[in-house]
């Protein structure tokens, strides 16, 4: 049953991708198709990576509200970007070789994410309030630090930082896209291999251990994969805080299963579908150039509030 | 047999258990009794390898529990904990099927499916099999989790207050099943159970390990430990006893 829904979701995603590529296609066809294909690839990669990362994160955190973004990952990215612009200047950042910058950013974000998630999840993961509060406070501290650094910037340099604060799918380097695809592909396959063990981990640490699962090892492996997935996608296009929450929540709601072999691809495809359909609607149908990320933050924020209020009503 | 060898447990600066030395025989039901905070659940978790002792060691059938590989331990010991919360969306059948995980690691065979069906039947869960666990009552959940532990098919079964949410009929049925499966024989399972219902311990347990203030207060055959003077000292309140044709019943005076 869940598999059938997964196939249906895949078909809808293929349809949305075809519409994105071919809708109102005018000459020069090859050139426009190339541009659209690059953008589509970025949307698909980022949607899949963020959706899968969030399901992994929620399973090891034993909480359906948390996303890497909510516990401070995006604030970390903005702080790093601001520090980079402050250190090297707007022009210096623009002159950096894209490949080296991308790889350095990915490496730095993976390390930083490992520290952040390790701090939050490896110790006292059972204490949810402590975990959320620590994440939120770290986020506030990092944003405060970024804000302080932004005040020291020239207006032109500040504009560079501001561009990095929201995800942008417009101008993605094709070379970087190929590298990102390879990295994300490997991480996604590793996550799928981990799926049966994640099903057991979803029962909670104590119960999983009574069933013979090396729970701490699965948590470490999952957090490593989350770090790679969110670091690569964030370094590629920028932060999309709430996309993961939307993708994971819809994935769970549509599939109605505990099996990560279904949930991971479902959340990935939902994330991708949300981005592709959203961008299609914005660009092609409404003819707007507004940033899709802003809308995602808005809708995701509403969903987050709705989920919190639903939980409050239940208890 | 489980040999608990001078085991102590400290959590932060608080001593939970000190110098516990006891044996749990392989045959029969061993009940862990004692007042609140005596350390019963802590000792059960230590014996299951879920927590590490601050001192001492626990040897199960000749092997240190805390040195066993995770999977090996899960094939020897099934544990029913008090926690019933789940974040995964599971049917009762899914939950019970997880009991077979240590044996198939995600690739169930026909034998695993048969044992799951048997567990559902044994715990009167066939009608509830397709229901979501979150929609069950506390007692039904308790039965589902117990069936999952049973399906693990381990030589040892540890249960932490399994009777707490059960109505009298299911409580009796569970104890009767534990009694049958723990009788001496090639298929016998050793049962270690934390109970607050002293009559369940008096009627069904073969051995009793009584804890008080983190230490062993008394240990031995149930008839020797479950006496009014010992229970009165253990719980700091008077106890009476009634002999019935089903066995001995105790009551606080």
The C-alpha atoms of residue B231 and residue B241 are separated, in whole angstroms, by: 10
All residues of chain A having their beta carbon less than 8 Å from the beta carbon of residue B89 are: 252, 256-258
C-beta atoms of B106 and A212 within 8 A: no
Taking CB atoms and an 8 Å cutoff, what residues of chain B touch A206? Answer: 50, 81, 83
pLDDT the model gives residue A311: 63
Task: State the smallest CA–CA distance between residue A214 and chain B in angstroms.
Answer: 6
pLDDT at residue number A122 = 61
Average pLDDT of chain A to the nearest whole number: 84
Q: Which two tokens stand for residue B228?
A: 């009014």
Q: Which residues of B touch A207 (CB under 8 A)?
A: 81, 83
Q: Closest CB to A62: pick one of B87, B101, B149.
A: B87
Domain range summary for chain A, segments of one domain joined by +: 2-25+34-310
User: How far is Cα B210 from Cα B34, in angstroms, rounded to an integer?
Assistant: 5
Mutate which of A192, A205, A212 to disrupt the B interface (most B C-beta within 10 Å)? A212
- Please provide the CATH number assigned to the domain covering A2-25+34-310: 1.10.3470.10
Calculate what percentage of chain A has a pLDDT beyond 70. 91
Mean pLDDT check: name the lowest of A92-101, A163-172, B132-141.
A163-172
Compute the average pLDDT of residues A49-61: 92
Q: ipTM of the assembly?
A: 0.88
Contacts of B178 by beta carbon, 8 Å cutoff, 6+ apart:
B29, B157, B159, B191, B193, B204
The C-alpha atoms of residue A302 and residue A233 are separated, in whole angstroms, by: 23
Query: What is the dihedral angle through the alpha carbons of B47, B49, B50, B55, rounded to the nearest 10 degrees?
Result: 80
**Contact B106/A196, CB-based, under 8 Å?**
yes
Q: Where are the alpha helices (DSSP H) in chain A?
A: 2-22, 29-61, 73-95, 98-117, 128-151, 155-165, 174-201, 205-210, 215-237, 243-255, 260-280, 292-314
Mean pLDDT value across residues B125-141: 90
- Mean pLDDT confidence for A177-206: 93
Q: Is A54 helix (H, G, I), strand (E, B) or coil?
A: helix
Q: B155 versus A155: which is more confidently predicted?
A: B155
Of B83, B88, B152, the CB nearest to A258: B88
Sign of CA dihedral A302, A308, A311, A315: negative
A-chain CB neighbours of B75 within 8 Å are 212
Average pLDDT over residues B69-77: 93
Predicted confidence at residue A313, as pLDDT, reads 47
Which residue of chain B comes nearest to A252, CA vs CA? Answer: B89
In the CATH hierarchy, which top-level class contains the domain B2-252?
alpha beta
**Chain-chain contact of A207 with B101 (C-beta, under 8 angstroms):** no
Cβ atoms within 10 Å, residue B119? 24
> Residue A291: pLDDT above 70?
no
pLDDT at position A121 is: 65
pLDDT at A315 (0 to 100): 37
> What integer is the mean pLDDT of A284-308?
73
Residue A125 is predicted with a pLDDT of 54
pLDDT of residue A129: 65
Cα separation values, B107 from A196, B100, B104, B113, Å: 9, 10, 5, 11
Take residue B86 and report the two structure tokens written for it.
Answer: 């789940």
**Digit-coded pLDDT (tens) for A116-161:** 777 776 655 556 567 667 778 888 888 899 889 988 888 888 888 8
Count CA within 13 A, CB hemisphere, residue A76.
Answer: 27
3-state secondary structure of B2: strand
Phi, psi of B24 (to 5 degrees): -115, 115
Rounded alpha-carbon distances, angstroms, from residue A77 to A105, A142, A238, B219: 9, 9, 8, 60
- Residues in B touching A258 (Cβ below 8 Å): 88-90, 94
Q: Residues B158-171: what's their mean pLDDT?
A: 87
Q: Determine contact, residues A70/A245, Cβ cutoff 8 Å.
A: yes
> B102 vs A212: CB contact, 8 Å cut-off?
yes
Listed range (A14-23, A102-111, A281-290, B148-157) with the worst mean pLDDT? A281-290
């Amino acid at each position: 049953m869940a598999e059938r829904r997964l196939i249906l979701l895949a078909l809808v995603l293929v349809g949305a991708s075809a519409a994105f590529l071919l809708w109102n296609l005018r000459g020069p066809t090859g050139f426009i198709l190339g541009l659209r294909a690059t953008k589509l690839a970025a949307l698909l990669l980022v949607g899949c990576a963020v959706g899968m990362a969030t399901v992994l994160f929620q399973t090891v955190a034993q909480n359906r509200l948390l996303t890497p973004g909510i516990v401070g990952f995006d604030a970390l990215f903005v702080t790093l970007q601001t520090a980079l612009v402050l250190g090297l200047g707007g022009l210096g950042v623009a002159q950096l070789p894209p490949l080296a910058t991308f790889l350095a950013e990915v490496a730095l974000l993976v390390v930083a994410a490992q520290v952040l998630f390790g701090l939050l999840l490896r110790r006292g993961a059972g204490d949810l309030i402590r975990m959320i509060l620590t994440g939120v406070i770290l986020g506030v501290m990092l944003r405060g630090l970024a804000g302080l650094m932004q005040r020291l910037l020239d207006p032109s340099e500040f504009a560079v930082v501001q561009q990095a604060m929201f995800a942008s799918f417009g101008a993605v380097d094709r070379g970087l896209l190929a590298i990102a695809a390879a990295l994300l592909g490997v991480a996604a396959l590793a996550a799928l291999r981990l799926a049966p063990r994640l099903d057991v981990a979803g029962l909670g640490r104590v119960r999983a251990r009574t069933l013979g699962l090396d729970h701490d090892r699965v948590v470490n492996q999952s957090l490593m994969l989350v770090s790679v997935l969110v670091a690569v996608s964030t370094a590629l296009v920028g932060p999309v805080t709430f996309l993961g929450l939307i993708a994971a929540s819809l994935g769970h709601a549509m599939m109605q299963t505990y099996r990560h072999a279904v949930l991971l691809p479902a959340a990935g495809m939902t994330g991708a579908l949300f981005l592709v359909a959203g961008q299609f609607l914005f660009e092609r149908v409404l003819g707007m150039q507004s940033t899709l990320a802003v809308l995602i933050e808005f809708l995701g924020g509403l969903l987050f509030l709705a989920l919190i209020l639903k939980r409050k009503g239940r208890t | 047999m489980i040999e608990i060898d001078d085991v102590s447990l400290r959590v932060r600066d608080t001593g939970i258990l000190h110098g516990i030395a006891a044996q749990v025989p392989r045959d029969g039901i061993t009940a862990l009794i004692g007042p609140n905070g005596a350390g019963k659940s802590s000792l059960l978790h230590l014996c299951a390898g879920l927590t590490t002792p601050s001192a001492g060691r626990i040897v199960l059938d000749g092997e240190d529990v805390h040195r066993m590989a995770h999977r090996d331990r899960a094939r020897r010991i099934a544990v029913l904990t008090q926690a019933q919360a789940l974040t995964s969306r599971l049917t009762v059948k899914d939950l019970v099927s997880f009991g077979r995980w240590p044996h198939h690691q995600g690739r169930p065979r026909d034998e695993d499916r048969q044992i799951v069906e048997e567990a559902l039947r044994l715990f009167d869960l066939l009608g509830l099999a397709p229901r979501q666990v979150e929609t069950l009552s506390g007692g039904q959940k308790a039965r589902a989790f117990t069936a999952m532990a049973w399906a693990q098919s381990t030589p040892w079964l540890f249960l932490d207050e399994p009777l707490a949410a059960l109505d009298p009929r299911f409580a009796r049925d569970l104890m009767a099943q534990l009694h049958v499966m723990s009788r001496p024989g090639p298929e016998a399972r050793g049962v270690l159970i934390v109970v607050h219902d002293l009559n369940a311990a008096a009627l069904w347990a073969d051995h009793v390990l009584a804890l008080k203030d983190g230490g062993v207060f008394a240990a031995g055959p149930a008839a020797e430990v479950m006496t009014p003077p010992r229970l009165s000292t253990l719980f700091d309140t008077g106890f009476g006893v009634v002999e019935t044709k089903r066995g001995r019943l105790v009551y606080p005076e």
